[in-house]
C-alpha cells in the first residue's frame, strides 16, 4: 500500500468519525445524556477533593450526627445538604464516593467481559467445527440462565466482596459478546478482504485481530455501553443484598440498603438520594448507548 | 416430531449433567468446604472426623459420584443452619415464590400487552410516546430501589398497604396461598408490582416492535382490502403473529422472574426461596445453596424444553431438529 492511499484512507476514517460525532449530538436527548455522564464521571473522579467529608474514614464520622435531615448543620458547622445516615455519614459524600465504586465496577466488568467475549466469539467463528460447537453450546448454556442467577452462583462460590462482584459480572456477561461477535464474524469471514488476507498467507491471529476484529467492533461498543449500565445496576442490587461492598465502605446499593430500616419510620433520605444518583447514572448511560446504536447501526444486535 | 423431542430431551439431560459438574467443582473445589464446615478451634482428630463424615477424604471423582447419587435421591444433605434436609427447606418455600412470580407475570401481561399494542398501532400519538418513555424508565430503575420507594409511598406515607410478610394464607390442594385471603392479597400487591415492573416494560417494547413489524405485511394489507373490521385484523392477524415472541418471553421470563424474586423477597421479607438463598449465602449454608442452584438449573432446562415444544405447535415452520 502506498503512502498516498494510506493518508486518504486515514482521512476518510477521520471524516467518518466526525460525521458520527455530529450524528450523535444531533439528538438533544443523547447529548444531554452524554453531558450528564461526563459530569457524573467528573464528580466521581474528583470525589476526594470536592466531597465535604471522607465517608470511609471512620474518624471523621460522628455518631452524634446520625440520621440528620437534609440541610442540617453539624456541631463543627458542616452542612449536610442531603442529610446523614445512621453512622453520621454525610449522604452527599457517600454518594460521590459510591459513584466511584459503581463506575469502576461497571466499566471494569463490562470491558473485561467485552474483551473475553469478543476474543472467544472471534475464535469460534474463525476456527469453526468442533471449537465452534463447544463454544456455542457453552454460550447457549450461559445465556439460558439469568444474569442475577449466574452472579449469585459465582458469589456463592467465591464469597462476598466488590472484586468478586466484578468477577461474577464478567462470568455472567461474556456470552452476550461472544454470540454477537460470532454472528457478525461469520458473515465477515466470507468477504473478499478476508479471502485476500488468507491468500497472502497472513498468520491466523493477524487476520483475526487486524482484519476481522475492527469490522465487528461497532456492536461490541454498543453492547459494552449498555452493559456498563446493567453492571452498575447489578452491583447495586448485589450490594443491597449484602453480597458486595463492605459496611465501612458503602457503595450506592449499600447506602440504600442501610437506609431501608429507617425508611419505615419516615427517614427517607438515606435511601432516596443514593437511588436518585444511581437512576441518573443508569439513564444517562442508556441514553448514550441507545444513540450509539442508532449512529453505528450495527447489522445484528442481540 | 417424536424423535426430535427425544433428541431435545437428551440435550436437556446433558445440560443438567454439565451443570452438576460446574456446581460441584465450584462449590467443592473453588470454595473449600473444610473451612466452612469445621470450627477453626477444632483439634486435629475432630477435623479428620468431620472430613471423613462428609466424605471429603475421598478422591474427587468419587466425591462427585456420591454427590450425583444424592442428587438422584433428592438428597443434598442437611442445612447447617436449620439441621433439616436442604431440598425440603426449599420446596417448603417454593409456593410463596411461585405465587409471587405468577402474580407478577400476570400483571406484566395485563399491562404490557395492551399498552404495547396501543403504542405500536398509534406510534405518533403523544400518549404512545409517554408510554415508551415510561418503559425506558422501567428498564433503568433498579428494581430494589423501586421496591423501597413503593414501601415509602404506599406503606409509610399513605398507610394503605403492609410493608412485609405474606399475611394470612389459606390452604388449597395442600399448599398455603396468600391470594385467597383479603389480607394476603394486600400483602401480595406491592411485591408483585415491584417484581412486574421490569417485565412489563420488556413485554410492552416487545409487543410494540412486533406490531410494527406485522402491520406493513401483505396479509394485513390484504385483510384491510377485504374490508375486515379493524378489531378482527388486530385480534386475528396481528395478535396471532405476536404469539411466538410473547410465548418465548412468558417462558424465559418466568424463570428469570423466579431468579429476580431474590431481590423483591429480600425487600418485602417475603418468605420464599429467594430470601432463603440470600440468607444461606450470607451464612455459608452450602447444602441449601447447592440445592437451590440445582433446582434453578432444572427449572430453566424444563422451561426451555417446554418453550421449544410450544414453538413447533404454534409455528409448524419451526422444527426442533432444524439447525438454528
What percent of chain B shows pLDDT beyond 70? 82
Which of B140, B288, B299 has the highest number of chain A CBs within 10 A, making it the mutation to test binding with A?
Answer: B140
B147 contacts in A (CB within 8 Å)? none
User: Min CA distance, A197 vs chain B (Å)?
Assistant: 29
pLDDT number for residue B314: 67
- Answer yes or no: do B188 and B296 share one domain: yes
Q: Find the CB nearest B259 among A146, A158, A282.
A: A146
In this prediction, residues B77-87 reach a mean pLDDT of 77
In this prediction, residues B237-266 reach a mean pLDDT of 80
- Answer yes or no: do B178 and B213 share one domain: yes
pLDDT number for residue B30: 60
User: Min CA distance, B228 vs chain A (Å)?
Assistant: 36
Which of B133, B136, B137, B145 has the highest number of chain A CBs within 10 A, making it the mutation to test binding with A?
Answer: B145
Is the pLDDT higher at B320 or at A295? A295
Quick check: A69 pLDDT over 70? no
Q: Does B131 touch chain A (CB under 8 A)?
A: no
Euclidean distance between CA atoms A79 and A63, whole angstroms: 15
Of A23-27, A119-123, B218-222, B284-288, where does the model show the most confidence?
Answer: A119-123
pLDDT number for residue A95: 83
User: Min CA distance, B288 vs chain A (Å)?
Assistant: 11
Q: Does B299 touch chain A (CB under 8 A)?
A: no
B293 contacts in A (CB within 8 Å)? 153, 156
Q: CA-nearest residue of chain A to B135?
A: A283
CB contact under 8 A, A263 and B148: yes
pLDDT digits (tens, 9 = 90+) for B189-223: 888 888 888 888 888 888 888 887 777 777 777 77
Q: Does A24 touch chain B (CB under 8 A)?
A: no
- Answer yes or no: do B227 and B184 share one domain: yes
pLDDT number for residue A112: 92
Reduced 3-state DSSP string for chain B = CHHHHHHHHHHHHHHHHHHHHHHHHHHHHHCCHHHHHCCCCCCHHHHHHHHHHCCCCCCHHHHHHHHHHHHHCCCCCECCCCCCEHHHHHHHHHHHHHHHHHHHHHHHHHHHHHHHHHHHHCCCCHHHHHHHHHHHHHHHCCHHHHHHHHHHHHHHHCCCCCCCCCCCCEEECCEEECCCCHHHHHHHHHHHHHHHHHHHHHHHHHHHHHHHHHCCCHHHHHHHHCCCCHHHHHHHHHHHHHHHHHHHHHHHHHHHHHHHHHHHHHHHCCCCHHHHHHHHHHHCCHHHHHHHHHHHHHHHHHHHHHHHHHHHHHCCCCCCCCCC
CB contact under 8 A, B263 and A153: no
Q: What is the CATH number of the domain that holds B94?
A: 1.10.3720.10
Q: Please name the residues in contact with A148: beta carbons below 8 A apart, sequence gap of 6 or more.
A: A234, A237, B256, B259, B260, B262, B263
A154 contacts in B (CB within 8 Å)? 26
Q: Find the CB nearest B281 among A141, A146, A243.
A: A243
Is the pLDDT higher at B161 or at B321? B161
- Answer yes or no: do B220 and B132 share one domain: yes
Q: Does B142 touch chain A (CB under 8 A)?
A: yes
Which of A171, A236, A240 has the highest number of chain B CBs within 10 A, making it the mutation to test binding with B?
Answer: A240
A241 contacts in B (CB within 8 Å)? 144, 262-263, 266, 278
User: Min CA distance, A192 vs chain B (Å)?
Assistant: 26
Q: Is residue B83 in some structural domain?
A: no
CB contact under 8 A, A243 and B156: no
Quick check: A138 pLDDT over 50? yes
pLDDT digits (tens, 9 = 90+) for B167-178: 666 666 666 666
Is the pLDDT higher at B156 or at B291? B291
**Residue span of the structural domain in which B61 resides:** 2-72
pLDDT digits (tens, 9 = 90+) for A173-215: 888 888 888 888 888 777 778 778 878 877 877 877 777 788 7
**Last residue in a domain, options B42, B72, B102:** B72
Q: Is residue B59 in some structural domain?
A: yes
- Answer yes or no: do B65 and B102 share one domain: no
Q: State how many domains chain B has.
A: 2
- Answer yes or no: do B142 and B50 share one domain: no
Q: Does B302 touch chain A (CB under 8 A)?
A: no
Euclidean distance between CA atoms B121 and B213, whole angstroms: 11
User: Min CA distance, A271 vs chain B (Å)?
Assistant: 8
In this prediction, residues B297-307 reach a mean pLDDT of 82
Q: Does A15 touch chain B (CB under 8 A)?
A: no
* Residue B132 pLDDT class (50, 70, 90 cuts): confident
Quick check: B321 pLDDT over 50? no
* Residue A302 pLDDT class (50, 70, 90 cuts): very low
B26 contacts in A (CB within 8 Å)? 153-154, 156-157
Chain mean pLDDT for chain A: 78
**Grid cell for residue A123:** 475464535
pLDDT number for residue A298: 46
In this prediction, residues B106-114 reach a mean pLDDT of 88
pLDDT number for residue B240: 77
In this prediction, residues B160-167 reach a mean pLDDT of 71
- Answer yes or no: do B107 and B40 share one domain: no
pLDDT number for residue B174: 62
Q: Is residue B77 in some structural domain?
A: no
Q: Find the CB nearest A148 among B18, B136, B262.
A: B262
Quick check: A3 pLDDT over 80? no
In this prediction, residues B36-64 reach a mean pLDDT of 71
CB contact under 8 A, B140 and A229: yes
Q: CA-nearest residue of chain A to B267?
A: A260
- Answer yes or no: do B175 and B36 share one domain: no
CB contact under 8 A, B136 and A275: no
In this prediction, residues A99-114 reach a mean pLDDT of 88
- Answer yes or no: do B151 and B202 share one domain: yes
Q: Does A36 touch chain B (CB under 8 A)?
A: no
User: Min CA distance, A14 vs chain B (Å)?
Assistant: 33
pLDDT digits (tens, 9 = 90+) for A32-44: 888 888 888 888 8
In this prediction, residues B43-47 reach a mean pLDDT of 75
A152 φ, ψ (degrees, to nearest 5):
-60, -40
pLDDT number for residue B167: 65
Please tell me the CATH code under which domain A89-300 is placed. 1.10.3720.10
B27-36, B78-87, B230-239: segment of lowest average pLDDT: B27-36
**Last residue in a domain, options B72, B105, B127:** B72
Chain mean pLDDT for chain B: 77
- Answer yes or no: do B110 and B227 share one domain: yes
pLDDT number for residue B324: 40
In this prediction, residues B118-142 reach a mean pLDDT of 81
- Answer yes or no: do B105 and B58 share one domain: no
Q: Is residue B231 in some structural domain?
A: yes
CB contact residues (below 8 A), chain A span 115-144, against chain B: 141, 144
CB contact under 8 A, B26 and A157: yes
B319 φ, ψ (degrees, to nearest 5):
-115, 140
- Answer yes or no: do B32 and B127 share one domain: no
Q: Does B209 touch chain A (CB under 8 A)?
A: no
pLDDT number for residue A11: 63
Quick check: B146 pLDDT over 80? yes
CB contact under 8 A, B142 and A279: yes
Q: Does B259 touch chain A (CB under 8 A)?
A: yes
Chain-centre distance for alpha carbon B260: 6
A153 contacts in B (CB within 8 Å)? 23, 26, 293
* Residue B319 pLDDT class (50, 70, 90 cuts): low
Amino acid at each position: 500500500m502506498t503512502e498516498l492511499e494510506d493518508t486518504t484512507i486515514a482521512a476518510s476514517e477521520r471524516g467518518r468519525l466526525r460525521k458520527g460525532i455530529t450524528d450523535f449530538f444531533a439528538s438533544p436527548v443523547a447529548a444531554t445524556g452524554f453531558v450528564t455522564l461526563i459530569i457524573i464521571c467528573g464528580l466521581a473522579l474528583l470525589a476526594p477533593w470536592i466531597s465535604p467529608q471522607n465517608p470511609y474514614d471512620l474518624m471523621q464520622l460522628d455518631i452524634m450526627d446520625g440520621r440528620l435531615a437534609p440541610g442540617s448543620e453539624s456541631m463543627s458547622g458542616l452542612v449536610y445538604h442531603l442529610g446523614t445516615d445512621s453512622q453520621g455519614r454525610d449522604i452527599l459524600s457517600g454518594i460521590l464516593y459510591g459513584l466511584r465504586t459503581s463506575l469502576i465496577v461497571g466499566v471494569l466488568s463490562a470491558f473485561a467481559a467485552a474483551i473475553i467475549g469478543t476474543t472467544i466469539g472471534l475464535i469460534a467463528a474463525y476456527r469453526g467445527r468442533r471449537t465452534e460447537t463447544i463454544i456455542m453450546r457453552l454460550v447457549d448454556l450461559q445465556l439460558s440462565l439469568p444474569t442475577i442467577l449466574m452472579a449469585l452462583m459465582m458469589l456463592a462460590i467465591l464469597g462476598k466482596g466488590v472484586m468478586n462482584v466484578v468477577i461474577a459480572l464478567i462470568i455472567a456477561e461474556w456470552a452476550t459478546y461472544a454470540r454477537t461477535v460470532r454472528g457478525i464474524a461469520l458473515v465477515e469471514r466470507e468477504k473478499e478482504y478476508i479471502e485476500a488476507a488468507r491468500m497472502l498467507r497472513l498468520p491466523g491471529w493477524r487476520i483475526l485481530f487486524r482484519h476481522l476484529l475492527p469490522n465487528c467492533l461497532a456492536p461490541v461498543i454498543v453492547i459494552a455501553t449498555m452493559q456498563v449500565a446493567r453492571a452498575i445496576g447489578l452491583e447495586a442490587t448485589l450490594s443491597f443484598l449484602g453480597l458486595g461492598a463492605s459496611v465501612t465502605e458503602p457503595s450506592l446499593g449499600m447506602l440504600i440498603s442501610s437506609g431501608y430500616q429507617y425508611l419505615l419510620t419516615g427517614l427517607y433520605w438515606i435511601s432516596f438520594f443514593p437511588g436518585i444518583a444511581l437512576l441518573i447514572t443508569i439513564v444517562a448511560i442508556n441514553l448514550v448507548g441507545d444513540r450509539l446504536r442508532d449512529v453505528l447501526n450495527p447489522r445484528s444486535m442481540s | 416430531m417424536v424423535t426430535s423431542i427425544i433428541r431435545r430431551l437428551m440435550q436437556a439431560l446433558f445440560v443438567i449433567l454439565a451443570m452438576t459438574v460446574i456446581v460441584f467443582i465450584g462449590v467443592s473445589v473453588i470454595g473449600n468446604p473444610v473451612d466452612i464446615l469445621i470450627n477453626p478451634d477444632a483439634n486435629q482428630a475432630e477435623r479428620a472426623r468431620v472430613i471423613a463424615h462428609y466424605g471429603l477424604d475421598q478422591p474427587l471423582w468419587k466425591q462427585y459420584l456420591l454427590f450425583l447419587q444424592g442428587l438422584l435421591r433428592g438428597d443434598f444433605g442437611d442445612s447447617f443452619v436449620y439441621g433439616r434436609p436442604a431440598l425440603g427447606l426449599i420446596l417448603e418455600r417454593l409456593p410463596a415464590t411461585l405465587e409471587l412470580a405468577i402474580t407478577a407475570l400476570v400483571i406484566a401481561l395485563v399491562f404490557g400487552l395492551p399498552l404495547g399494542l396501543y403504542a405500536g398501532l398509534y406510534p405518533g400519538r403523544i400518549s404512545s410516546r409517554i408510554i415508551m418513555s415510561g418503559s425506558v424508565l422501567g428498564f433503568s430503575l433498579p428494581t430494589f430501589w423501586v421496591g423501597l420507594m413503593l414501601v415509602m409511598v404506599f406503606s409509610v406515607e399513605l398507610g394503605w398497604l403492609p410493608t412485609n410478610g405474606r399475611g394470612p394464607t389459606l390452604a388449597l390442594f395442600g399448599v398455603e396461598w396468600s391470594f385467597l385471603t383479603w389480607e394476603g392479597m394486600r400483602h401480595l400487591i406491592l411485591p408483585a408490582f415491584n417484581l412486574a415492573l421490569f417485565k412489563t416494560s420488556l413485554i410492552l417494547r416487545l409487543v410494540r416492535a412486533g406490531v410494527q413489524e406485522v402491520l406493513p405485511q401483505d396479509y394485513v394489507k390484504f385483510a384491510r382490502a377485504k374490508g375486515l373490521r379493524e378489531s378482527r385484523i388486530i385480534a386475528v392477524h396481528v395478535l396471532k403473529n405476536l404469539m411466538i415472541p410473547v410465548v418465548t418471553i412468558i417462558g424465559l421470563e418466568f424463570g428469570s422472574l423466579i431468579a429476580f424474586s431474590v431481590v423483591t423477597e429480600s425487600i418485602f421479607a417475603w418468605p420464599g426461596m429467594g430470601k432463603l438463598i440470600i440468607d444461606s449465602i450470607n451464612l455459608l449454608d452450602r447444602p441449601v445453596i447447592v440445592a437451590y442452584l440445582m433446582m434453578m438449573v432444572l427449572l430453566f432446562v424444563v422451561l426451555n424444553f417446554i418453550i421449544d415444544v410450544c414453538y413447533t405447535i404454534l409455528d409448524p415452520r419451526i422444527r426442533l431438529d432444524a439447525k438454528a
